[in-house]
Amino acid sequence: MSRLAFTNARLVCPVGGVRQGTLLVEGDRILGTADEAPADSISINCNGRTLAPALVDLGVFRIDRAAFRAGGIARVALMPDTVPVLDEPGIVQRSALIGKPDLWIHPIAAATRGLAGTDLAEMAICASAGARAVGTGRGWIADSAVMRRVLLYARDLDLAVVAHAEDGGLSRGAVATEGETATRLGLPAAPALAEVLAVARDLLLAEETGARLHLRQVTTAAAFELIRAAKRRGVQVTCGITPGHLHLSDLAMSDFRTFAHLSPPLRDEADRQAAREAVRDGTVDVICSGHDPRGAEDKRLPFADAAPGMAGAETLLPLALALVRDGLVGLDRLFALLALNPARLLNVDAGTLAPGMPADLILFDEGAPWRIEAERLVASAGNTPFDGLPVQGRVLRLWKGGREIGAPAA
């Protein structure tokens, strides 16, 4: 097996911290660190740039290899909202295999058949076929008895339930959050309470059943308070968020720009600030891209008719690095949010630079300046609400299992 030595690197590990050093890799595994490269190794000079675990993106809606390479993402958890829905073992198994060896796909199987929210799907068989979690997809399971059975079944299988937290009775047909912006634009809107009610119910059910619950996107101050309290009580709950809800408020919709039509919808500035505080104080466990590329046929429509979603894989790292520059998190904690925590939620050994871990690595330039331009993104569609935004941080090289799979930066 070949032995690689990544020299002159700034090593970032969610467990080991940040330091200068040399990282050794043999075959597809990390050997550990060293003061200098062994004589029998192939030396890769990192020139002082940052070497860190490759990203694990929890909850993407489409497999987009070029975008994942450009974003430094080596593993993705695929949402069940595919065509067909991930509710059969054959579909799950095929999804888990199609990306290898360059990209490892960890399917999130549908919790209910066809994501209809009524009959439970065959979770056990789907888990044996490669599913790493079960999920409600883009929607909320309205029937509390069904959701309780989902949590009980998943608990017995030691699978996390990845839930969308919006009360469908309140949010049905809405494309914005109730408030000044939605009123001024005349958009159908739902109260932010729709998220809070859904979170409250699912937390109570998770506490009663002892199941692992992951709320894929939490975006309101009141919901974060509920999660803090639940964690203090010992509820097995984690929550995530995307950069869209950390950096943008509902003011981004003011020109009817459909790239800012997201799900859940953008919130007001007070909720955005609460989300940033939730990152700072550790309430948020995962930052994900929510990658959902949408072409002109979905986005070049009136705002209320356009499909929600953003292409977020390529911009995940630079937008997340802004949180480090703003002093909300350290670089090692950021990679817990981007790599270690999502891997743990999926019961996958990844996300650190510890000896014996898979050599899934990214080399990036933390300070490299560039401008996000929708038309220049390599994703299958460039529907980003950050079009035109100057950012810093560029992925230079990516390795999956010790094998370089591309140098996405220009």
Please give the average per-residue pLDDT across 231-256, as a whole number: 97
Partnered with residue 21 across adjacent β-strands are: 9
Third-level CATH fold of 3-50+359-406:
Urease, subunit C; domain 1 (2.30.40)
Share of the chain above pLDDT 90, in %: 96
Mean pLDDT along residues 236-265: 96
Indicate the pTM of the whole model. Answer: 0.96
Read off the tokens for 203.
């937390």
Q: What is the pLDDT of residues 334-362, one digit of tens each?
A: 999 999 999 999 999 999 999 999 999 99
For residue 407, what pLDDT band results from cuts at 50, 70 and 90? very low
Lowest-pLDDT choice from 37-41, 246-250, 310-314: 37-41
Q: What's domain 55-345's architecture?
A: Alpha-Beta Barrel (3.20)
Q: How far apart are the first and last CA of the chain?
A: 30
- pLDDT tens per residue across span 56-113: 999 999 999 999 999 999 999 999 999 999 999 999 999 999 999 999 999 999 999 9
| Residue 113: strand, helix, or coil | helix
Helix axes 193-209, 221-233, angle to 10 degrees: 10
> What residues pair up with 19 in beta bridges, in sequence order?
11
What's the pLDDT tens digit per position in 27-68? 999 999 988 888 889 999 999 999 999 999 999 999 999 999
Q: Cα angle vertex 386, ends 62, 396, to 5°?
A: 70
Question: Which pLDDT score is estimated for 1?
Answer: 65
Distance (Å, rounded) from C-alpha 102 to C-alpha 65?
A: 9
Beta strand extents in 254-324 (DSSP E only): 286-287
Intrachain domains 3-50+359-406 and 55-345 with the same fold: no
Looking at residue 409, what is its pLDDT? 41
Four-CA torsion 326, 258, 79, 316, nearest 10 degrees: -30
Domain residue spans in the chain? 3-50+359-406, 55-345
Q: 115 φ, ψ to 5°?
A: 55, 30
